[in-house]
Amino acid sequence: MDIKKKRIGRTGLEVDILGLGCAPLGGNFVDLDYNDAAKIIKKAISEGISYFDTAPWYGFGRSERVLGDNLRHREYILSSKVGRILKPGPVENPMDFGMINPLPFHVIYDYSYDGIMRSFEDGLQRLGLDRIDILLAHDIGEFQHGSTNSRHFRDLKDSGYRAMAELRELGLVKAIGLGVNENQVCMDALEIGHWDVFLLAGRYTLLEQTPLNSLFPACEKAGTTVICGGPFNSGLLVGRDMWNYSKAPAQIMEKATKLKAIADEFAIPLGAAALQFPQAHDIISSVIPGPRSEDELVEILAWQSTKIASEFWVRLKDERLLMHEAPVPN
């Protein structure tokens, strides 16, 4: 499959417009064993995908281990995360975190200089790789931390950013940014220093386009691009009832139902529209769905090539299901 590449920020690094989100490989919300996870990675590679995103959080190291084993001695572009340190000792109830059969660790949050450096080096060891290309501060923000976020953000501002910038200056990573689920923390982070990219999950999709109002213009001014995570909004846009990592509320379900009805009228899979929509915006460097099986990856690859009539996008805007100013695929 011929996959277009786009640049990360103002760096010289280019990534696939369609990458692989690797949270499911760690057992996040899905019971996926090592061999099945490896099949997804190998299939992605065989289809021309070379950009992969992981994190210590995904299965408390499980995703990193299987991904590293299957990328070693290959050409790849890899993004991973810092801000969480894994400590020995299992959590009491992994499903409280959406984890199925994670490795026997628990998480300590640390966005300080020392915490970032330790998390970076620990991650390389779990991966068994000698480089991470894009380093992202993971889940900083009130969505994850609530009232304690002010302390964590202060750590990132006072010293954690300096650690990430040093790694970039030394050439140990090629780009730095955040990996988050909310717009405001990205806006706040732009006041700290220069970020190359924000991995923003679930906020620029067919269900919501709030970054168009302020975040995307600010990113354009700063030379920061965006990786779109969660293009299916936790599966709601592909027939599941999850949204934002939990059961979808009625209002969101209603909008998804309307989107599905119009997609059916045009005889296109709603998943194809959800996958292709964010790719139309110039600020988006990559879209990274997280397939839970090899079959799901095959379906996603088919959606990437699905032809969608321009009238479909016009209809969504006419029905006020899509912001008028949102760019759409040609």
The two tokens of residue 278 are 């964010």
**Is-contact 285 8, C-beta < 8 A?**
yes
Report the C-alpha gap between 39 and 70 in whole angstroms.
9
Task: Report DSSP letters for 37-69, one per residue.
Answer: HHHHHHHHHHTT--EEE--TTTTTTHHHHHHHH
* Residue type present at position 94: P
245 catalytic? Reply is no
Q: Which of 16, 43, 81, 196 is catalytic?
A: 81
The DSSP annotation for 109-160 comes to E--SHHHHHHHHHHHHHHHT-S--SEEEEES-SHHHHGGGHHHHHHHIIIII
DSSP for 7-42 reads E-TTSS-EEESB-EE-SGGGTBSS---HHHHHHHHH
Q: Strand pairing partners for 184? A: none
Alpha-helix residue ranges (DSSP H) falling in 181-280? 183-189, 215-222, 250-265, 270-276
Residue with tokens 């940014």: 177
Clarify whether 221 is annotated catalytic.
no
Q: 42 near 70, Cβ under 8 Å? A: yes
User: Under a CB-based contact definition with an 8 Å cutoff, are residues 29 and 55 in contact?
Assistant: no
> For this structure, is 39 an active site residue?
no
Q: Which of 16, 43, 51, 58 is catalytic?
A: 58
Q: Which of 16, 51, 53, 111 is catalytic?
A: 53
Query: Catalytic residues, which ones?
Result: 53, 58, 81
